[in-house]
Amino acid sequence: MTGQRKRIVSVGEVMIEMARGSDGRFALGCGGDTFNTAVYLARAGLDVAYASALGDDPYSDAILALAGAEGMATDLIVRVPGRLPGLYLIETDAAGERAFYYWRDHAPARELFELGEWSRLAGSIMSARLVYFSGITLSIYSNQGLGRFLALLEMARQQGIKVAFDGNYRPRSWKGDIQRTRTVFMEALKRVDIALPTFDDEALLWGDTSPETTVERLQSFGIAEIAVKNGHNPALVAAGGVRDFVAVPDVVKPVDTTAAGDSFNAGYLAARLGGDNPAGAALAGHRLAAEVIQQRGAIIPRTSAAVH
């Protein structure tokens, strides 16, 4: 493949992040599940573009500057005059577990596939190598936006483009409407090649009783490759008729579990695109996630990231 065909396109929302440190003060940063994964994929040396919408304010400028510094293409980030990006606060308890508080209802990312430039984005996505998105991506769009995005994924797969998806279910993002959530997810799952779910999320949304149950349900949609994340427990990988439980090589005490799943996904996808088998890719995902959860914030300093 040549030119843009090599690109991974990650689709979603990046927000201003305020994370409380051990001194009680908040540090300013930015993050968002698919953006975090895109950053770690770029650090792995892959050609990555992020598709979203931002405002024309200084905070949006800072997000674009960060993306550029990370080597990520920003030509698929639309600027909307007079608008502001979303904001979220993270509170982390003594065990490293997080609570999130969001201000994002009017963020321009929600209208990405309704803006005048959406057709240009669609054309660029159709020349990608892989498209990556999440359940949070799905949660921000209107029915019209969802319809366009899902149709685009279907056309992309017909052109041989791979589609990777992390369910990343957050009930608050769906306003508690579990039936609509399931309906949208089922439509999305019909268009997925690689599923990277977290077992706790799947149990919450679907009532799955085990990672094996999650695999069986996702395989019923025809998904050929599945890696079920399960915290410090082994990940369950299913591909090519084989299932493997891949243990976390070194269980570490988390300082902040923000972006644990996002970084696992980046490690996994980078390894797979580099030629590793699914079990080896899961091991790479575990290693990167372990590095990330030992520091605060979604995006750790570049010198720390263990993606190779």
**Helices 178-189, 143-158: inter-axial angle, 10-degree rounding:** 20
Pairing outcome for strands 87-92 and 98-103 = antiparallel
What is the amino acid identity at position 228? V
CB 29 within 8 A of CB 19: yes
Is residue 200 part of the annotated active site? The answer reads no
* Sign of the dihedral defined by the CA atoms of residues 217, 97, 64, 262, in that order: negative
CA 137/CA 99 separation, integer angstroms: 19
Query: In terms of DSSP H, where are the helices of 99-162?
Result: 118-125, 135-140, 143-158
79 class by beta-carbon count within 10 Å (0-12 exposed, 13-18 middle, 19+ buried): middle
Which of these is catalytic: 33, 166, 208, 262?
262
Sheet architecture: strand order including 162-166: 77-79, 48-54, 8-11, 130-134, 162-166, 194-195, 225-228, 235-239, 242-246
DSSP state for residue 251 in the 8-state scheme: -
Task: Report yes or no: 153 and 119 within 8 Å, Cβ to Cβ.
Answer: no
> In whole angstroms, what is the distance from residue 277 CA to residue 239 CA?
9
Which of the residues are catalytic? 262
